[in-house]
Each structure stands twice: as structure tokens, then as C-alpha cells.
């Protein structure tokens, strides 16, 4: 009975993890010798609004080409914002993203779950005025969700709130150095689509729901890229004692445009951890790599050491790892295999295991479809494990 109850809870938990989906980040672009992210994205660490150059590359290198492309072929109207229907100023980038999914969850024991999810309906804008930069995102959310990003407070049944995952203002000191203040995704590890991997969940550095307010300094050079953020806390959370203070940062070095290694570090403290109510300090330190041994292959890897301490108790240490191989036999078609481990307590049982098999097809301008089959283990008691299978079909449309 206990085993079944835990399995059902795990279904709900995993479904909650799988539900949100944010702006795309493509670290596998290393296979095209793109070591950095600032050329294509308004966020120097990747994801968010595409720049004009990024939209062009989405046509040139990301989606499947239909028909022959001659030497004088140009991306054309499909690479322009809103297909060129709206003539935007050169200083303004606007993006819209809608992601829908059909999800099936099958536990080893207990009842499964099947549902349709509207995972994302976001609009984002990035404006440049000289060296000044302003960025904001906006999306609707059901009022009954506990969103740490919501900017309205409608608690009525079947009501809707507005959430803003990111909003910041910055100053471009030069082409490589950007200083920002506001609400931002924490810079840490590999920024990728699968933001609910354990390396993202355990470190609270996903693209969807763990952004924080603070000050960031980002440098994007030819070989060196770094982004360090002073965390001031999530100001949609109150009272103040629940807000985290600390830092999060990453640095990476490109030995070549296709062989990149990096390191990350995060320390955050709150006077009362959410759901804990006592002083809470969490740390994560790790290494990651993005390499492309062949033009069709990208390999992404990350390993993070974890430490969580409640009040004056001894710290609980663990780790999370991820290894992913992305093979692109035909331009726009990605066959992806991902393995992951998670051990929240080094003194506990063996690590939890996860495996992903995914197919992603960028088959048309501004449209892609994705199929995931995921198997994860979850703890039952101290030493036992139960497994959950998840199948997800996603359709993503963006402008």
C-alpha cells in the first residue's frame, strides 16, 4: 500500500516536472562551431529571444531544408520576425512561443495518468538603445498554480494570472561585456531544452521556474565565456526571510570551437527555506563539457556535487550527473539519448537512474515536433526503488 502511494505521488511529481517548458537553448550548436550563445540570443548564456542573426541561423543550420539550396540562397522572409509581416525596428527583437503536449505517465504500480498540456504561451521582447538593453517576458498561468514568477494575484477559481519568468535591464560595456540587473535564469551548467533533468532540478537552475532577482556580469569572448550573478532573492516570494542570497556562476573555455569545457558554482542561503522554515544553505559545484567529435554528433556532459544544510545540522551531500548524445543524420532531425543519475544523500541508498530516448524534428520554419520516452527510478522507503515511464509528444510553434 505504501509502495503504491509513493508511486502515485511520483507520477504527480514527475508530471509537474514535465509540464513547464521554456525558451529553447541549443548547446548542440557546438557541432556547427558555435561556442558561445550571445550571437543568436539576447541572453548571453542562451535561450530567450533570438536576435536577427539567430533567426537567420535557425533557417540556415537548424531546420530541415526542402529543395536544393544554391550558392546564392538566402534565408528570406522565414528568418524575419513574424515572417516579415510586421516591420520591426532594428533595435527591437520580439519572440512568441507556444508549446503543446500530450503526456502519458505509466508507473510500475498504481494508476497512470494521461493528459493534454498547454506547456507554454510566452511572449518576449528585447530592446537595444545604444548601449542600454531592456528585456521582458510575459505569459498567462492558471490562478490555482503556485507560481514563483507571477506578477498578478488573481486567486479566483478558474482565474488567470500573468507571470514573468525574466525581466532585466542592462548595459553593454562593449561587444563582449554585458552588465544586467533584474530577474534572470541562474547561470549554471549546460543550458538546454531538457530543463527538468536532475542536474537542473537538483541545482534549481532550470529555464522555467527558478529564476531569481540579482545582478549579473557576463563576458562572451572568442574562447572564454563567463556569467556570474549575485543573487538577491526572488521578490515574488514573501516574507523576506524566504528569499535566497548568494551567487551563481559559470565559466567555460573553448579549446576549439567544437571542444568546450566549463565549471559552475552556486551558493545560496535563506533565513527560512521554503517548506523547511529554518535557515537553509544549498551549494552546487560542478563541471561540464560540450564537444563535437563529428559534424553530425554533439556530446553534452555535466556532473555536479550537491550540499544542503538545514540550520546547524550536518550538511547532506550528494551528486547529479548527465550525459547526452545528439546525432543529426539529416539536417533538422535529431536522435537524442540521455542518461542521468541523482543521489540526494551520499549516506543513503544507491543513486536514482534516468534514461531518455528522444526524436526532435525541426521540419518547417518556426515549427518543431518532439517525442520523448523517459524512464526514471524513484525511492520507496530507504533502499527500494520504483520506476516510472513517461511518454511525451510536443508540438512547438515560435515566432
pLDDT per residue, tens digit, the chain (399 aa), is 444 444 444 544 444 444 444 445 678 788 887 777 777 777 777 777 887 787 888 888 888 988 888 777 888 777 777 777 878 888 998 888 888 999 999 988 778 889 998 888 889 999 999 999 999 999 888 755 556 777 787 777 777 888 888 999 999 999 999 999 999 999 999 988 777 899 999 999 988 788 999 999 999 998 999 999 999 999 988 899 999 999 999 999 999 999 999 999 999 999 998 888 899 999 999 999 999 999 999 999 999 999 999 998 889 999 999 999 999 999 999 999 999 999 988 777 789 999 999 999 999 888 999 999 999 998 876 677 889 999 999 999 887
Structural contact between residues 287 and 261, judged by C-beta atoms closer than 8 angstroms: yes
Look up residue 221 and give its three cell numbers: 569572448
Largest CA distance in the chain: 67
Residues 132-160 as b or e (16 or more Cβ within 10 Å = b): ebbbbbbbebebeeebebbeeeeeeeeee
Q: What is the pLDDT of residue 38?
A: 72
Q: What is the pLDDT of residue 291?
A: 95
List of domains in the chain: 2-398 (2.40.160.10)
Task: State how far Cα 52 lies from the chain centre.
Answer: 22
Q: What is the pLDDT of residue 368?
A: 93
Q: What are phi and psi of 139, to 5 degrees?
A: -155, 150
Q: What are phi and psi of 242, to 5 degrees?
A: -85, -5
Amino acid at each position: 500500500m505504501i509502495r503504491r502511494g509513493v508511486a502515485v505521488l511520483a507520477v504527480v511529481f514527475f508530471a509537474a516536472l514535465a509540464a513547464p517548458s521554456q525558451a529553447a537553448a541549443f548547446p548542440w550548436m557546438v557541432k556547427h562551431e558555435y561556442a558561445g550563445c550571445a550571437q543568436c540570443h539576447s541572453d548571453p548564456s542562451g535561450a530567450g529571444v533570438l536576435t536577427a542573426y539567430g533567426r537567420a541561423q535557425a533557417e540556415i543550420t537548424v531546420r530541415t531544408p526542402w529543395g536544393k539550396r544554391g550558392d546564392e540562397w538566402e534565408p528570406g522572409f522565414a528568418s524575419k520576425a513574424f515572417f516579415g509581416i510586421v516591420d520591426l525596428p532594428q533595435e527591437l527583437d520580439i519572440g512568441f512561443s507556444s508549446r503543446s503536449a500530450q503526456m502519458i505517465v505509466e508507473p510500475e504500480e498504481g494508476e497512470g495518468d494521461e493528459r493534454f498540456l498547454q506547456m507554454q504561451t510566452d511572449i518576449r521582447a528585447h530592446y537595444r538603445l545604444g548601449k542600454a538593453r531592456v528585456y521582458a517576458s510575459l505569459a498567462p498561468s492558471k490562478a490555482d498554480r503556485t507560481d514563483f514568477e507571477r506578477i498578478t494575484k488573481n486567486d479566483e477559481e478558474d482565474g488567470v494570472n500573468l507571470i514573468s519568468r525574466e525581466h532585466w535591464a542592462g548595459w553593454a560595456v562593449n561587444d563582449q561585456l554585458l552588465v544586467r540587473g533584474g530577474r534572470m535564469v541562474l547561470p549554471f551548467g549546460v543550458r538546454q531544452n531538457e530543463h527538468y533533468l536532475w542536474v537542473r532540478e537538483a541545482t534549481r537552475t532550470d529555464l522555467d521556474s527558478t529564476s531569481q532577482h540579482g545582478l549579473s556580469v557576463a563576458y562572451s569572448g572568442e574562447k572564454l565565456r563567463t556569467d556570474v550573478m549575485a543573487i538577491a532573492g526572488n521578490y515574488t516570494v514573501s516574507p523576506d526571510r524566504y528569499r535566497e542570497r548568494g551567487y551563481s556562476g559559470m565559466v567555460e573555455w573553448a579549446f576549439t570551437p567544437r571542444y568546450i569545457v566549463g565549471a559552475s558554482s552556486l551558493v545560496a542561503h535563506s533565513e527560512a527555506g521554503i517548506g523547511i522554515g529554518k535557515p537553509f544553505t544549498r551549494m552546487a559545484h560542478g563541471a561540464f563539457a560540450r564537444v563535437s567529435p563529428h559534424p553530425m554528433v554533439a556530446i553534452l556532459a555535466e556532473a555536479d556535487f550537491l550540499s544542503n544544510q538545514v540550520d546547524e545540522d550536518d550538511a547532506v551531500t550528494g551528486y547529479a550527473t548527465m550525459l547526452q548524445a545528439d546525432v543529426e543524420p539529416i539536417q533538422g532531425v535529431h536522435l537524442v539519448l540521455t542518461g542521468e543519475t541523482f543521489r540526494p544523500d551520499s549516506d543513503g541508498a544507491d543513486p536514482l537512474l534516468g534514461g531518455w530516448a528522444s526524436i526532435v524534428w525541426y521540419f518547417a520554419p518556426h515549427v518543431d515536433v518532439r517525442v520523448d520516452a523517459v524512464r526514471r527510478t524513484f525511492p520507496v522507503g530507504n533502499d527500494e526503488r520504483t520506476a516510472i515511464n513517461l511518454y511525451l509528444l510536443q508540438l512547438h510553434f515560435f515566432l
